[in-house]
Amino acid sequence: MFSELKPLPTDPILGLMAAYKQDTNPNKIDLGVGVYKDEHGDTPVLKAVKQAEAFRLENEKTKSYIGLAGNLEFCHKMEQLLLGEHRTLLANRVRTAQTPGGTGALRVAAEFIKRCNSNATVWVTTPTWANHISLFEAAGLTVKEYPYYDYENKGLLFDEMINTLKQVPKGDIVLLHACCHNPSGMDLNEEQWKTVAELAKEVGFTPLIDIAYQGFGSSLDDDAKGLRLIADTVEELIVCSSCSKNFGLYRERIGACTLIAKDAATADISNSVLLSVVRSIYSMPPAHGADIVNTILSSEELTKMWHEELDEMRTRINGLRTLIKNSLAAKGVDQDFSFIDRQNGMFSFLGINKEQIERLQKEYAIYIVGSSRVNVAGVSHTNIDYFANAVADVLNK
């Protein structure tokens, strides 16, 4: 059977990671992989996480299964983090299942959608996170795209986006990035969120909100503002969240899939289907990551510590955006990079061509995805001069 298989191409980002690791240039810079890095190029374990892990090690009393929905206290804390004191929570319309990371949440959502409406099409932004399309197609769903990022003007194609979404059939799914759009960094403002929310209600499509970077844009509450506006407006909503970035729990694979239904009875029915999906994929989620998050959010001291660490990461990212813009201008680069300052989160498109990207890798050991998407957090005050000089050299020749 195996002999009939044909090799598949390596994921571009994973291939870039491997090439970077093998590169012996002492000045090499990895701007490809999408993880937060500190000034030393490390992805640190947060102090709040360390303390929560120590508490868990001391107090864990069993290794038994934790149930299909996972840690129920964690699920409740995630609902509060996403929605605050929202009326949907007060009306008992919200149900959540713990999942193996944000990717697991999306796959669970995809299978749930398939059971609700096997003919549903999922609409995603152009561009979107590379794995979105394959996740939905793997569940047998059709995926289409709607206009979003304006490559030429480094902004949003909002009018084109709305015109396309007006044509989406009732019952289809529209995926929206809550904040820190991956890969462009361009987010909807509050008025635009209101427009999308009203359109969803009018047209009858179901929003699916992917919130993988809450707290990396403006603040925990501000980054969830669009999600909460949608929840104010529509009867049904799916939310896929991740703790990989804001808690730094990348390898613990901890996320959640949250459903908002029109009433408590419908929420219960929907939850039974959601848990049936979970049972058919991985049966029970792992405990460690959820226990860490729950421990932090159950402690005023640890929550305060986490907020401070999250603020530090966000402030660093935003500062790096300004640093990149100013450093490139100081090197005499003619191309306007001021758009970097208007974006949120870790990602941005530099807007350079493939030949220039290849030169940066070959001549300077600076690793960038072929689309020119860069992880801003890969830059530091130590390597910014080297990076800016390299980009200036490549662009000015």
Catalytic residue among 172, 210, 223, 291: 210
What would the two tokens of residue 165 be?
A: 């979404």
8 Å CB contact between 209 and 82: no
- Residue 306 annotated to the active site: no
Angstrom distances, CA of residue 146 to CA of 132, 174, 385: 14, 9, 38
Tell how far CA 147 is from the center of its chain: 19
Catalytic residue among 37, 225, 245, 325: 245
**What is the rounded CA–CA span in Å between residue 234 and residue 259?**
12
What would the two tokens of residue 206 be?
A: 């179901």
For strand 237-242 and strand 254-260, is the pairing parallel, antiparallel, or unpaired?
antiparallel
**What is the rounded CA–CA span in Å between residue 70 and residue 3?**
39
**What is the rounded CA–CA span in Å between residue 11 and residue 163?**
33
What would the two tokens of residue 325 be?
A: 């813009």
Catalytic residue among 129, 154, 172, 325: 129
- Residue 210 annotated to the active site: yes
The kind and range of the H/E element at 336 are none
State the CB neighbour count (10 A cutoff) for residue 362.
Answer: 9
**What is the rounded CA–CA span in Å between residue 267 and residue 280?**
20
- Residue 223 annotated to the active site: no
Which residues touch 182 (CB under 8 Å, ≥6 apart)?
34, 128, 129, 212, 213, 345, 346, 347
Residue numbers annotated as active site: 129, 210, 245
